[in-house]
A = this chain, B = another copy of it.
Amino acid sequence: MATDAIRLLSPEGVLIESEENAAWLPLISALSEQQLLDFHRQMAVIRRFDIEAGNLQRQGQLALWIPSLGQEAAQVGSGYAARAQDTIFPAYREHVVGRIRGVDPMRIIELLRGQDHGGWDPKQHGNFHLYTLVIGSQSLHATGYAMGVAFDGAAATGDPERDEAVLVYFGDGATSQGDVSEALVFAASYQTPQVFFLQNNHWAISVPVATQSRTPLYRRAAGYGVAGLRVDGNDALAAYAVTRTALDEARAGLGPRFVEALTYRMGAHTTSDDPTKYRDDAELEYWTAHDPIARFEAFLRGRGVGDDFFASVAEEGEDLAADVRRRTLALESPPATKIFDHVYTDPHPDVAEQRAWLLAYEASFGGQA
């Protein structure tokens, strides 16, 4: 782990109450016991869900599964750092954040089963936007949205309970895309209330982060006049404190912020991928020893949290997994005419005509439509 990363929890799960952490520690002290337990619960439950979803994919139930395995701390810390009024633009791996913001994991299952291209209405789900599969695109949507927040006067009023901010997730590979650069340019130009949250999980499918950049990626931000920090992304508390501060600075009108969380994709890129083709056992071993959930469990145990809690979390995970499995197996194919729904908002003659044609055509087979 690079030494320039902010770390509040040691790999052994001990809170590092050092001088240099002085700025961040009050944010941690302010967390209630319940909040700390929730950090763990969300990580562990989604990890169990993640495994189940992978299994469902292998059993032919999903087109694809994208695991968040290993990145739970970066996600839970940043996800809880966002306030209720904030708006979040994920990439496609932020299952923990989605859950925090109230998205039923089944919506993600349906997306990756191929039932839907979206799945939820962000406005009804904690302002958690849809997954975006084209690398980096969402960074510009987030910036535009944040421009709107600024234009609406919904930030920088001085009231952190009401001022809005925007949080956008992307990966190390994404930093190479022109769109992410343009998003930084626009964000800096309009001084948007926005945090760029980079999960550097060290790989873009089979390509190591060194191919994307030979310099620490958080430094990218400064070149755009955007303040950037690096955090140990397997440390949920550091991810929380740094993102919380960045969001609060952004919402206060101090301009956009950039956070790089150093973490690791412990699993395959997706279920289509075979990481043994391109990476070392040793690397995986190192990171397995730095598992973010194990670290947080050690931290909680150090604070006296006992087996009961961990057992209840495990049970919740099992329940969710069973529920997801049951609900996945019960899914039916969407109706054929769904292909025409909402291509446009206003009526459209060609869509209407093709829809009518399809109905008539299917009816000609005896009404299987």
Contacts and interface: CB of A to CB of B under 8 A. Distances in A.
Copies in the complex: 2
Contacts of A177: 178, 182
Nearest to A176: B185
A227 to B, nearest CB: 11
Interface stretch (A60-68, A193-201, A213-221): A213-221
Contact of A220 (B175, B211, B214, B223): B223
A256 to B, nearest CB: 11
A212 B186 CA distance: 8
A174 to B, nearest CB: 11
A215 B224 contact: yes
Residue among A212, A214, A224, A225 with most chain B CB within 10 A: A224
Interface string A164-188: 0000000000011111111001001
Chain A, interface SS category: helix
Given A178-B179, A189-B211, A189-B212, A222 B223 contact: yes
Given A178-B179, A178-B181, A219 B223 contact: yes
Contact of A214 (B182, B221, B225): B225
Nearest to A184: B181
A224 B213 CA distance: 6
A215 B225 contact: yes
A273 to B, nearest CB: 22
Contacts of A180: 181
Contacts of A182: 176-178, 181
Contacts of A219: 222-223
A224 B221 CA distance: 10
Contacts of A223: 215, 219-224
Nearest to A179: B178
A222 B214 CA distance: 11
A234 to B, nearest CB: 24
A224 B188 CA distance: 17
A215 B222 contact: yes
Contacts of A185: 175-176, 212-213
A188 B214 contact: yes
A209 to B, nearest CB: 11
Contact of A222 (B189, B211, B222): B222
* Chain B CB within 10 Å, residue with most, of A181, A219, A225: A181
Closest 3 pairs (CB-CB, A-B): A178-B178, A215-B225, A181-B181
